[in-house]
Amino acid sequence: MVREKTILVVAEENPAFQDLKACLNKAGYRVARAAGGEEALAKFSTLNPALVILDATLPGIDSRQVLQAIRKRSSCPVIILTPPGDLEERLTALKQGADDCIGKPFAAEEVAARVNAVLRRPPVIFAGDTRQYGSLRVDFQAHTAYLHGVELPLIPRDLSLLLFLARYPNRTFTRKQLIEEVWGLDYAGSERAVDLAVKRIRKALRDWPVSEGELKTRRGLGYQLCIHAQKEKNRQCRECIHAPE
């Protein structure tokens, strides 16, 4: 473990924070705390943390604004601590760029494990509305995707599906969700069309190294664009977030 990495925790000073700090210190991280949004952004600029843990339940703070401000500056991973059972809050945070969400109350050991999992992922390069996962680069504004610098020859419908999955890596979506989110509620075809589109996308991505990622089928759940850590070439992605049915 690299012991110089700093984790910025935006949370109250309480026993839960002390437990989390102890677990993160034990895992080899330095921990800095911020009590509010302005302090968080100021420390983010000076400390250049490896990861931010942001408590969305902290009084007097708009966690969405803090997350958006971080995303405008950096691709630094952000984990959001959300209210108990608040699925809508978790989904909103993920859509706005959070890398993971954990419901409160939490076990400090689980948070530390998720920090390790997020930091094992390959770096995601943000350049405007572009992301790069290893040799795969997607440009959401231009509606294009490139592998090893060569544009992927996908039909518009398949490309839209790939771009959607690339915007939410390591998250599983059902066929119904993909149809509604990507092709629209007025789509009149069958869910089988999603399977065929995935098959064509996989063919286009056949030269994408599995060490970087793959388009996976989650049996009984749906599909996800799974981004792998470079050191885990032969392991399946286990840091997955399942979207609801």
Claim to verify: residue 116 and residue 135 sit in the same structural domain? no
State how many domains the chain has: 2
**Tens-place pLDDT, residues 184-194:** 655 667 788 89
Instruction: With respect to residue 88, please indicate whether it lies within any of the assigned structural domains.
Output: yes
The letter for the amino acid at 56 is A
Task: Considering only residues 219 and 236, tell me which one the structure prediction assigns the higher pLDDT.
Answer: 219
* Least confident segment among 29-33, 221-225, 237-241: 237-241
115 and 131 co-located in one domain: no
Segment 102-122 mean pLDDT:
85
| 238 and 132 in a common domain | yes
Q: What is the pLDDT of residue 90?
A: 79
Q: What is the mean pLDDT of the chain?
A: 82
Query: How far apart are alpha carbons 69 and 168 in whole angstroms?
Result: 19
Same domain, 29 and 80: yes
Does residue 221 lie within any of the structural domains?
Answer: yes
Mean pLDDT to the nearest integer, 30-58: 89
CA-closest candidate to residue 58, choices 29, 88, 38: 38
Q: What percent of the chain has pLDDT over 70?
A: 85
Q: Please tell me the chain's helix, strand, coil percentages from 3-state DSSP, rounded to the nearest 5.
A: 35, 25, 40
**pLDDT, greater one: 18 or 91:** 18
**In the predicted model, is pLDDT for residue 16 greater than 60?**
yes
For residue range 137-178, list pLDDT tens digits in order.
998 877 889 999 999 999 888 988 998 899 888 888 999 888
Which CATH number characterizes residue 56's domain?
A: 3.40.50.2300
Of residues 87 and 22, the one with the higher pLDDT is 22
Instruction: Indicate if 45 and 151 belong to the same structural domain.
Output: no
- Can you read off the two tokens belonging to residue 2? 């690299």
**179 within some domain:** yes
Q: Which of 103, 120, 137 is at the close of a domain?
A: 120
Domain assignment of residue 148, yes or no: yes
Tell me if 197 is assigned to some domain: yes
* Domain boundary pick from 120, 137, 172: 120
Q: Where are the beta strands (DSSP E) in the chain?
A: 6-10, 30-34, 51-55, 78-82, 100-103, 125-126, 130-133, 136-139, 144-147, 150-151, 171-172, 213-218, 222-227, 241-242
**Same domain for 152 and 231:** yes
Q: Which of 120, 154, 172 is at the close of a domain?
A: 120
Domain that holds residue 72: 6-120
The mean pLDDT of 219-237, rounded to a whole number, is 67
> Looking at per-residue confidence, does 189 or 209 come out higher?
209
Q: Confirm whether 1 is domain-assigned.
A: no
Q: Using 50, 70 and 90 to split pLDDT, how confident is the model at 46?
A: confident
CATH number of the domain where residue 210 is located:
1.10.10.10
How far apart (Å, rounded) are the C-alpha atoms in residues 149 and 111? 37
| Same domain membership, residue 134 and residue 43 | no
**219 shares a domain with 146:** yes
